Amino acid sequence: MLSKKASCDSHGQDSSYFLGWQEYEKNPYDQVQNPNGIIQMGLAENQLSFDLIESWLASNPDALELKRNGESVFKELALFQDYNGFPAFKNEMVDFMASMRGNKVKFDPNKLVLTAGSTSANETLMFCLADRGDAFLLPIPYYPGFDRDLKWRTEAEIVPIKCTSANGYKITETALEEAYQQAQKFNLKVKGVLVTNPSNPLGTTMTRLELNHLIDFAIEKEIHIISDEIYSGTVFNSPSFVSIAEALTERNLEDAEVWNRCHIVYSLSKDLGLPGFRVGMIYSNNQAVVSAATKMSSFGLVSAQTQYTLSQMLKDKKFTANYMEENQKRLERRKEMLVCGLKGAGIRCLESNAGLFCWVDMRHLLQSNTFEAEKKLWKKVVCEFGLNISPGSSCHCSEPGWFRMCFANMSEETLMVAMQRIKALVESTIVPQQTGLSKSRWLKNKWVFQLASYEQEPDR
């Protein structure tokens, strides 16, 4: 009776990533009212710097009151449905994006398309670049929501680019080529590569070398690059963030064909911590993409009310500069807290310099080097120790035992409680004797030595 899309599960919401959320919803932690509830560590939200925003709003009432120089602009906003977006807002957005990239690149508001969150931006780009059945290559591990955003209604395919902990998950030329060949084997036409930089779930930024490999690859194969840069403002440590825009400019590729095949996705959900406001965008040098995406944005425009309020906020450059600096400081501090807490429990993280989460190595806590064991451990963590963390398999990681833990969506006190629970978990877990892997050997190496590659499809 319904469509295939409605009846199948390619919305991806039966994955463990979302199931953990459901468990949390049933029994959410509250410091006072439910201290034994589940702590949400699966939500990549930035709640560390709201006080800065709130105080700005209190001092600048026009922004929320929808006034301009004391005069109400309510009617103007209520009627504003132009899919080209509120000009004042787009002008401020491009300045903001540039400042986040150290002003090494400049952006043109006419190349910016506003969408209802980056969820909508990513889907829209896929509709613009891929026909049904075409494929995009994505480095694993990747954000679980991409299965829904890139594949569900578009009927596009994702082919993974194998990245492993052996080299810190760096994207190599070999891995790119292998993924491309894999797609060919399945008769899938590859239309592009989508990278998340800084990475979710890894929390690392791409190196110049990686970016150049990516650009070379896109030139050779004549395919697109989508760079999801929604965490670009969360880079709190070196190496500094290098946007795809910067990498292209550095190589003087503004007149090259690949310039028209590079597109950036951005959002204010992570950097400014405003996921509820649904502010996403696509930036593209390709006029045809801008044109098509703009028309498609009709299906998910940004509320004019929100465009106005944020245009006022972003206009205050002193505020935004101060906010970014302070926010990054707080993120770094909080991340260090988590890393230290985990270290105290004998757990290591991938070294990271960005994002709202850590990529945590719990392989030594697995009963066996399998995804079944990972799932078992995950269930234990959620149900017995009350922490909703995201298992690596939900991010399509090829190696069992990695988990993403978020740190920016809770108070310090709550994080402390989470650390205690982790310690308790470790104490309750017997370190396994794995084939070919002794405890001491594990401790010697920073990264796990290369295991046999697994063809196994990770759990959904």
Q: Which stretch binds another protein (CB under 8 A): 163-171, 175-183, 295-303, 419-427?
A: 295-303
Distance of closest approach, residue 343 Cβ to another protein, in angstroms? 29
282 is catalytic: no
Under rule CB under 8 A, residue 302 binds another protein: yes
Tokens of 251: 């190589």
Q: Could you give the CA distance from residue 139 to residue 164 in angstroms, rounded to a whole number?
A: 10
Q: What single letter denotes the amino acid at residue 445?
A: N
Under rule CB under 8 A, residue 319 binds another protein: no
Q: Could you give the CA distance from residue 199 to residue 139 in angstroms, rounded to a whole number?
A: 10
Q: Which of 230, 347, 389, 422 is catalytic?
A: 230
Nearest to 232 by CA among 129, 331, 337: 331
Under rule CB under 8 A, residue 78 binds another protein: yes
- By beta-carbon proximity to another protein, the closer residue of 6 and 430 is 6
**Window 369-398: residues binding another protein (CB under 8 A):** none
Q: Which of 17, 143, 283, 308 is catalytic?
A: 143
Q: Which stretch binds another protein (CB under 8 A): 29-37, 91-99, 237-245, 299-307?
A: 299-307
Q: What single letter denotes the amino acid at residue 345?
A: A
Distance of closest approach, residue 354 Cβ to another protein, in angstroms? 20
For another protein, what does the binding mask look like between residues 127 and 146, x meaning CB under 8 A? xxxxxx-x------------
- By beta-carbon proximity to another protein, the closer residue of 5 and 446 is 5
Q: Which helix (H) or strand (E) holds 313?
A: helix 304-315
Cβ-contact 337, 415 below 8 angstroms: yes
Distance of closest approach, residue 276 Cβ to another protein, in angstroms? 3
Candidates 88, 166, 219, 256; binder of another protein (CB under 8 A) is 256
How would you write 419-448 as a 3-class SS string?
Answer: HHHHHHHHHHCCCCCECCECHHHHHHCCCC
Q: How far is CA 241 from CA 78, 101, 112, 206, in A?
A: 38, 7, 21, 8
Under rule CB under 8 A, residue 65 binds another protein: yes
Q: Using the 8-state DSSP alphabet, how is residue 257 labeled?
A: G
Cα dihedral 8, 11, 16, 17 in deg (nearest 10): 180
Three-state DSSP state, 294: helix
Under rule CB under 8 A, residue 119 binds another protein: yes
266 bridge partner residues: 281
Q: What single letter denotes the amino acid at residue 214?
A: L
**Window 12-41: residues binding another protein (CB under 8 A):** 13
- By beta-carbon proximity to another protein, the closer residue of 64 and 424 is 64
> Binding residues for another protein, how many (CB under 8 A)?
77
Q: Which stretch binds another protein (CB under 8 A): 211-219, 291-299, 381-389, 423-431?
A: 291-299
Under rule CB under 8 A, residue 70 binds another protein: no
The residues that are catalytic are 143, 228, 230, 270
